[in-house]
Amino acid sequence: MENFTPLSALIGGTFIGLGALLLMAALGRIAGISGIASQAIFQKQDRSWRLAFVAGLLLGPLLVTLVIKDFSFSTPELGPRTIIAGLLVGLGTAWGSGCTSGHGVCGIGRFSLRSITATLIFMAVGVLVASLF
Amino acid sequence: MQIIIAFVAGLLMSIGIAVSMMIDPAKVLAFLDLSGNWDPSLALVMAAALAVYSVGFHLVRGKPAPLLAEKFQLPSVTKLDKPILIGAAVFGLGWGLVGYCPGPALAALSAGSPATLVFVLAMIAGWYLARRWPLPH
């Protein structure tokens, strides 16, 4: 467990919770990233706030890089696995109406049975796949 | 005003994704992979986000309307149906393979890695295909 980073995890999680809460308090919307981003692309109605949300999402890490000078993170290797995983994540979050943010944070946060079940399933499958492959 | 707030909300969330290092798929896989050197950090990211959101949501929900919109828009479907069960499993499969879920993948685009871009394009293709072929209930 030498990779355990509790402080940055708690601070980062607080930011995620605050961002999601702001969207609910001000716009009355669930901060589901897969739903907002896919509708920003494929749905004309209510597009502007969704595009603005995605723009914020894209720029956040650049801001962090400006503040924390030695901030860096790894990216995956390019290969068939990247394409298959991306497709599965897209299909699954669209069919399942949400991802870690929409179900895992907002859904569980409002005690939705659907979201609690969905989160348990994608966590369990994610653990299984990551542990086996 | 709605647009500015939505931008700030997205910004806050991706700052959180970056600071917590969820933006790093290796960090996410270290949480999901129980067979190796397990890293529980992601559980704390979720715990903190949930603590803030669940308390805040229930305070906010007591108000007649959100600050900048006419009404709260919450999902109308509450039943557990086939699409959510299958969809969540398919998502878990992809998540466990690479360690990216949609938020971190989008947030990581700014690093300019071709693999991240390819993942995001494949994810968008997945969104499109699922809209074309929705699962029967």
- For chain B, give every domain's residue range: 2-132
ipTM value: 0.97
Residue whose tokens read 């669940």: B54
Calpha distance A92→B87 (Å, rounded): 4
Tell me: the pLDDT tens digits for B77-94? 888 999 999 999 999 999
DSSP class of residue A13 equals H
Q: Nearest-CA neighbor of B107 among B8, B2, B15? A: B15
Asked if A46 is an interface residue toward chain B (Cβ–Cβ < 8 A), one would say no
Angle at A128 between CA A125 and CA A130, to 5 degrees: 105
Mapped onto helix, strand or coil, the DSSP state of residue B99 is coil
Rounded CA Rg of chain B: 17
Tell me: the pLDDT tens digits for B15-50? 999 999 999 999 999 999 999 889 999 999 999 999
Alpha carbon B86 to its chain centroid, in Å, reads: 17
Nearest CB among A6, A58, A117 relative to B106 is that of A58
Question: Is A1's pLDDT higher than 90?
Answer: no
Tell me: the pLDDT tens digits for A84-133? 999 999 999 999 999 999 999 999 999 999 999 999 999 999 999 999 98
Phi, psi of B78 (to 5 degrees): -125, -10
The pLDDT value given to residue B137: 81
Rounded CA Rg of chain A: 16
Calpha distance A21→A111 (Å, rounded): 15
Interface test with A, best of B119, B128, B137 (most A CBs within 10 A): B119
Q: Per the CB < 8 Å rule, is B14 touching A81?
A: no
Tell me: the pLDDT tens digits for A5-56? 999 999 999 999 999 999 999 999 999 999 999 999 999 999 999 999 999 9
* Cβ proximity of B30 and A25 under 8 Å: no
Which tokens belong to A5? 């980073």
Question: Is B101's pLDDT higher than 90?
Answer: yes
Amino acid identity for residue B125 in this structure: A
Which tokens belong to A22? 């702001």
Element (DSSP H or E) covering residue A59? helix A47-67
Q: What is the pTM of this model?
A: 0.97
Residue of A nearest to B42 (CA): A9
Which tokens belong to B53? 């959101």
Evaluated on CA atoms A10, A88, B105, A2, the torsion sign reads positive
Q: Nearest-CA neighbor of B21 among B88, B116, B122, B103? A: B103
* Cβ proximity of A58 and B110 under 8 Å: yes
The B residues from 64 to 123 touching A (CB cutoff 8 Å) are: 65-75, 77-80, 83-103, 105-111, 113-116, 118-123
The mean pLDDT value of chain B amounts to: 96
Q: Per the CB < 8 Å rule, is B103 touching A33?
A: yes
- For chain A, the distance separating the N- and C-terminal CA atoms, rounded to the nearest angstrom, is 20
